[in-house]
Amino acid sequence: MFPPGSVLLCLTTVFRGRRPFSQVQVNGLFICSSSSSPDTPSVHLEVLRGLDDFVGRNLSLLVKIEDAWQPTDFLPDFSKEDWTSSLATLREAAKNLDDGILVVLVGGMVTEEALPSYSMALDGITGHRSGTSTQPWAVWTRGWTAEENRHGDLLNAYLRLTGRVDMRAIEVTIHHLLSSGFDPDAATDPYHGLIYTSFQERATRISHQNVAKIAGQQGDSALNKICNRIAGDEARHETFYTKVMGEVFDQNPDGAVLSFASMMRKMIVMPGKKMFDGQDPDLFEHFSAVAQRMGVYTVDDYGQIISHLLSRWNVASRALSGAAAQAQDYLCRQAERYTKLAERVRKTLTSQPAIEFAWLNSRTA
């Protein structure tokens, strides 16, 4: 799970009259939206628990272990006689990478390495404890975790071998992030967890694809292949979560639309939000700004993901009434909102100075 650099950097609460609003700071700009959310009906958890057969039919989105790639497939093999030549080739290509792309790559790897937190959260979302159970949700959780685990392993090894980053500063960041924990806001509504993962997996895929593209342009074919391969995994994971949430929309459209609107009002806070290197209290914000500036993950992308999910879940065409219809109308206006905001954010970022990163041995990006 790559943190695509949240475009929503700071949440605070303000009040206008008697109605609460979320005031969202986006690189110095503020937007307000209603933060109130509907009460969560107990039926939500029952709907998820009733999807066992549907989940079971989609376990094919996990790759068989014997057919799966492994990190070693993309790295120098130190058991071979020519390992020094392979390592030299990797390091030479990595010299061409801009420091900004290294920051984005490190931030992504740090978040991938906090996988234990996400696995525990996924257990909570589904209402099942995976353990060694053969129940479909449990099989998916373990399989998803196993596939995601390779991402952090591969990116960690690649970055270490380049010699271009401070691995201890990165390890401290991982330690802090794991210790701080992760909350996808599924405790009050399990639908939130599925909406979050649907959004996040697509954002992750977009981010890895963009890093791959930039790496290729800067002459690092190894990193290009690594990130494209990881993006392929994320695409399959995205398909699973969006299909499951699509089934939820079909079974409980009112509840699903209300939950989706609630998540959009709160905004999608990325899993790396609490990253800290022991020095920079605003590390995630600084990392996010670099990701936006590099074009790895932008406000445009955020809006396009909303538009995609609206289409994928047929939100606009569903016959709804009352509060659900109001939420439907709210959701259908969000993609345009972020499209309008994108240019303002780009202009703001161009005027911001480069930031010093401990990850880069105090170089700036």
Q: Where in the sequence numbering do the catalytic residues fall?
A: 69, 112, 148, 151, 201, 204, 233-234, 237
Answer whether 167's CB lies under 8 Å from 160's CB: yes
To which residue do tokens 């129940």 refer? 135
Which own/partner pairs from 29-38 qualify as long-range (CB within 8 Å, at least 24 positions apart)? 29/341, 29/344, 29/345, 29/348, 31/337, 31/341, 33/264, 33/265, 34/265, 35/265, 35/266, 36/265, 37/188, 37/189, 37/258, 37/262, 37/265, 37/266, 38/258, 38/259, 38/262, 38/323
DSSP per-residue letters across 3-64: ----S--EEEEEEETTEEEEEEEETTEEEEEE---PPPPTHHHHHHHTTHHHHHHTGGGSPP
